[in-house]
Amino acid sequence: MTRKDRIAALKAAAKERILILDGSWGVMIQRRGLDEADFLGDRFVGHEGQMKGNNDILCLTRPDIVTDLHNAYYEAGADISETNTFSATTIAQDDYKLDAEAVRDINLEGAKLARAAADAWTAKTPDKPRFAAGSIGPLNKMLSMSSDVNDPGHRAVTFDEVYEAYRMQVQALNEGGVDLYLIETITDTLNCKACIKAIMDLEAEGMDQLPIWISGTITDRSGRTLSGQTVEAFWNSVRHAKPFAIGFNCALGADLMRPHIASLSRIADTLVAAYPNAGLPNEMGQYDETPGQTSGAVGGWAKDGIVNILGGCCGTTPEHIAAIAKATAGLKPRDPAPTSHDMRLSGLEPFVLAS
């Protein structure tokens, strides 16, 4: 299939059924018990500093593990699997002292691995094509908040620096063959807007246009993102991108996430997606929610018609994804809300001026 055909197939599938995303990569990589040598591979032997824990580098040093995880999630029933590039920006990878060439290679190879796995599964099951989403995670530096408690105006990074970091990532993911972008675990909406601008600018310069999926994070019971926005304000801030899907992931388990997904479902004129954690972490930082518990909760969302795409975040496994796929099989996807022609603005709160 050509990329154009794959995107058409993705959009067609979204009208027919609830799509399934993969689950956690971190927990599955941790289970491998990898050591420093696995992360260094041959390319980074002698590299300054520790590399262990930099899961994205495995796209270059242990591509077999990355491919195995794509296959595990596709076998579990996922329609979409993410590239292993969650932290693959020059800003985030500076913690590991990686240069721009290595960061670009992570994204390019991560996309190629995801593309190859998706194509192999599509060849096996043509009636259920698989898709590769380019994972674009948050940064460790925020544009909306000061990194110095004594200086509210201080920023550790500029908009242009964030824009350029995302531009490099987006370009490499596109070149590597992803079917859509997943801007995920968004804590800072301004960072997200820099990424959106990078995508739009590159498309204006001739890069292939791909669907954009935007997934924010409600960080606590306040019902707001880390940068302080409510659900509706967040939607108003990014709706100009005309995303293929909008939703939330991480931070919360399904029980606590549901009201925020329900709120988004009432107002978004596009697909609504959710991939919660397997509950909240216990005292040891582990996730105890079973596949049956997670699938029971999000399966209820599907039965109530408030979602179009479901998957799992921290603590979820192929078993969780298989249970979610089973719980939602045959259920009708949500109908997007009517497009509003009101003027919808936002700061921390939404503002609507009726037309």
Q: Where are the domains positioned within the chain?
A: 3-353
CB < 8 Å & 24+ apart, contacts of 192-196:
192/216, 192/237, 192/238, 193/237, 193/238, 194/143, 194/159, 194/162, 194/163, 194/166, 195/136, 195/162, 195/163, 195/166, 195/170, 196/238, 196/241
> Which candidate, 271, 283, 262, places its Cα nearest to that of 213?
271
Q: State residue 19 phi and psi, 5-degree precision.
A: -80, 150
pTM score, whole prediction? 0.96
**178 with 133: CB under 8 angstroms?**
yes
Q: What is the pLDDT of residue 283?
A: 84
Q: What is the pLDDT of residue 331?
A: 97
Q: What is the pLDDT of residue 342?
A: 84
Residues 281, 287, 291, CA angle at the centre, nearest 5°? Answer: 140
Q: What is the pLDDT of residue 169?
A: 98
- What's the CA gap between 311 and 94, in Å, rounded? 30
List binding-site positions. Answer: 250, 313-314
**231 with 192: CB under 8 angstroms?**
no
List the alpha helices (DSSP H) in 177-271: 189-204, 231-238, 254-267
List binding-site positions for Zn(2+). Answer: 250, 313-314
List the alpha helices (DSSP H) in the chain: 3-16, 26-30, 36-40, 58-61, 63-76, 90-93, 100-124, 159-176, 189-204, 231-238, 254-267, 291-303, 318-328
Helix axes 291-303, 254-267, angle to 10 degrees: 20
Q: What is the pLDDT of residue 120?
A: 98
> Which candidate, 255, 254, 262, places its Cα nearest to that of 334?
262
The CATH number of domain 3-353, selected from 3.40.309.10, 3.40.50.620, 1.10.150.120, 3.20.20.330: 3.20.20.330
**Residue ranges in the chain whose pLDDT is less than 50:** none
Q: What is the pLDDT of residue 210?
A: 98
Q: What is the pLDDT of residue 345?
A: 81
Q: What is the pLDDT of residue 156?
A: 87
Which residue reads 């109530």 in tokens? 304
Alpha-carbon Rg for the chain, nearest whole angstrom, is 19
Sign of the alpha-carbon torsion through 72, 127, 133, 304 = negative
Q: For 69-91, write each residue's pLDDT tens digit.
A: 999 999 999 999 999 999 999 99
Q: How far is CA 244 from the centre of its chain?
A: 13
